[in-house]
Amino acid sequence: YALVRCFFLLMLSILDTMPGASTGTLVVTDYLNYWGGQRVKPRQEKGAEPVFEPATGRVLCQMVPCGSEEVDESIKSAHSAYRKWSKMAGMERARVMLEAARIIRERREKIAKLEVINNGKSITEALVDIDIAWQCIEYYAGLAGTLAGQHVQLPGGAFAYTRREALGVCVGIGAFNYPFQIASWKSAPALACGNAMVFKPSPMTPVTAVILAEIYKEAGVPDGLFCVVQGGAETGTLLCQHPMVAKVSFTGSVPTGKKVMEMSAKGVKQVTLELGGKSPLLIFKDCELENAVRGALMANFLTQGQVCCNGTRVFVQREILPKFLEEVVKRTKAIAVGDPLLDGTRMGALISKPQLEKALRYVNQAKTEGANVLCGGEPFVPSDPKLKGGYYMSPCVLDNCKDDMTCVKEEIFGPVMSVLPFDAEEEVIQRANNTTFGLASGVFTRDISRAHRVAENLEAGTCFINNYNISPVEVPFGGYKNSGFGRENGQVTIEYYSQLKTVVVEMGDVENYF
């Protein structure tokens, strides 16, 4: 027992340093790959990339990408675990998953702190992300024991039944904006259905997925059931093309999503794609204005605006536009930007210097094209000296926007809200749908008929009515059009991580046809 306890304390040593950690102090030296039930040292240091702490611009660790041998090793480790896990009853899997959820809940503050250091978002947001992660695992643990087929009676006493079976080894490819949460969103339904998963985090946020792997191990999954491989596009390609992989679930940009789909198609692998968005938020004159303003802020400034389903095209009915702008600008100016580990901070740092520069370029281009910057849109330098190298930007509201402006058409992935006036319901629905994206949408109105009518007509995978950017694990999330297909969360996702087998049973003699 003492040896086992020492082993787990050693494994979780980085989490144990979290209570005393502060911005600018942590250096990660632990191995970031994980398979066979343990962290794995990279075969070679070739191609190592620095990982930065967004709040300070300081190097946090080195990310060493996995090569073909390591990818192969991790997938074989996952396949071995899958053979054991898939034979367990759903209730047996559920007990292990509930234990994993409990451990995450117990360590939520430490995991959230590590997430902030690696990702740059505020600690207040990160705590919510970790809570959603354990809730997701708990939710799918509840579904694991309910997986069942059908019995169909056939003529002459014959019958058939269906079996819902696991796919095998699934690959999850995550994004930098919700590192731990996305790893949970992808692994929970996969594991509930009896699959194994090899997960590749974003190369910019490699630190917390391996914590999830250790927690699954501690909870009692077979060694190798949830593996973590580090790397960028090359490693992702190796995963998508591996013959032992049954499915790929990808979260990221549209261009990369298309490549993932193309590579997976060569092996006829199932694919779930959760891609970008340029979602519309429709605010009608009969709305509760205070809630609409809060909704617009939620739709644009969570995680420094780096959220794929953000409602960045804010259409406001002309009669209330001046009042809306006055309120939203006042609130935006008051957003506390700074050290993401301080409880009072509401906006931390963008993920990287290139991402910050890209967002600032979009604001400058918007000005060139005729938009008015009502506030923000500039580099922000916090007063704390240790934060001066961080990737901060003042949250921005753009007015006088037109539908054909670059800032209205393209996903910025930064804290930039574009506000557009509209006059009539039919007109604004047409304009809202005039995009290749279709991830999310929102409407604020007191008219219940209008709310449901607009929700029906908006071409998006989610429509929020009188709220925005809430993500309960019980409801499906995914896109229309170029924003992808397949779903995450909700009961339906079970169908994306399992396959049906039909068994036909003859109770009499075979017909003498020949």
Which residues are known catalytic residues?
274
- In angstroms and rounded to an integer, the radius of gyration of the C-alpha atoms of the chain is 24
Q: How many CB atoms lie within 10 A of CB 372?
A: 13
Beta strands in 157-232 (DSSP E): 159-166, 169-173, 196-200, 226-228
SS3 485: strand
> What does the alpha-carbon distance between residue 98 and residue 140 come to, in Å, rounded to a whole number?
9
> What does the alpha-carbon distance between residue 289 and residue 296 come to, in Å, rounded to a whole number?
10
Please state, in angstroms and as integers, the Cα–Cα distance from residue 204 to each residue in 42, 193, 227, 273, 507, following that order: 17, 30, 18, 20, 59
Asked if 100 and 215 count as a contact pair (C-beta separation under 8 A), the reply is: yes
Please report where in the chains the tokens 């009608």 appear, as a residue. 284
Q: How many residues does the chain have?
A: 514
Tokens representing residue 205 in the block: 């946020």
DSSP letters along 291-331, please? HHHHHHHHHHHGGGG--TT---EEEEEGGGHHHHHHHHHHH
Beta strands in 308-395 (DSSP E): 313-317, 372-375
> What does the alpha-carbon distance between residue 378 and residue 385 come to, in Å, rounded to a whole number?
19
